[in-house]
Structures are given as C-alpha cells and as structure tokens.
C-alpha cells in the first residue's frame, strides 16, 4: 500500500457523518482533485445505468480511456465501487427526488 494510504483509509472509515466527510475531503484535496473524484464517480454512475461510453465522454468532456477503466472496474465480480453504486441505486429508489 502507498505511503500513508492505510492511515487515510482508517480515517475515512471512522467518519460516518456526510458533512464531516465533505469537510475532511475539502481540507485534504485541492478543488481540482475534488472535481476529478466527483467526475470519476459520476462516470461510474452513468456506466452502471448503461449509458453508452461515447455519450458519457461527450457529456462529461472526458476521454474514452477514463471511461474504459471504469467499465473494467464494474465488470469485476467483487468490485467495491460496484457494490456502493448498487447501494446508491437502492437509496435513490427509496427517495427518487434525492
């Protein structure tokens, strides 16, 4: 594991309040890093909804390489990202207005 990554993972797991998590990420990441992270999550959400890769690339202004990486992750049987995307879909179905 990369230097300090285990410690950061422990801290992230300890934070259960969404507002506190947002504050932590704001403190730790630059605005560009936060945008990149949010963009990566959005492209994963769109892939999960079966939106075509070229459409995602055009709408989000990102390369097909980034999208292909996300698609490969979603094809993995034990993908943690896929698990949380599925959990998010269940939450959205309970409260479709967000």
Per-residue pLDDT of the chain (98 residues; tens, 9 = 90+): 577 899 999 999 999 999 999 999 999 999 999 999 999 999 999 999 999 999 999 999 999 999 999 999 999 999 999 999 988 776 655 555 54
CATH 1.10.357 corresponds to the domain 5-94: no
Instruction: Kindly list the domain boundaries of the chain, sorted by start residue.
Output: 5-94
Please state, as a whole number, how many other Cβ atoms lie within 10 Å of the Cβ of residue 56.
Answer: 23
Say what the pLDDT of residue 92 is.
59
Chain centroid to Cα 40, Å, comes to 5
Say what the pLDDT of residue 90 is.
66
Q: Calculate the CA dihedral of residues 92, 98, 63, 58 and round it to 10 degrees.
A: 110
């Amino acid at each position: 594991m990369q230097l300090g990554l285990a410690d950061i993972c422990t801290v992230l797991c300890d934070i259960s309040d969404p507002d506190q998590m947002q504050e932590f990420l704001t403190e730790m990441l630059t605005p560009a890093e936060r945008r990149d992270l949010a963009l990566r999550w959005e492209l994963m959400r769109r892939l999960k909804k079966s939106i075509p890769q070229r459409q995602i690339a055009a709408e989000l202004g990102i390369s097909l390489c980034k999208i292909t990486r996300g698609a490969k992750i979603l094809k993995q049987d034990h993908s943690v990202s896929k698990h949380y995307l599925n959990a998010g879909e269940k939450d959205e179905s309970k409260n479709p207005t967000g």
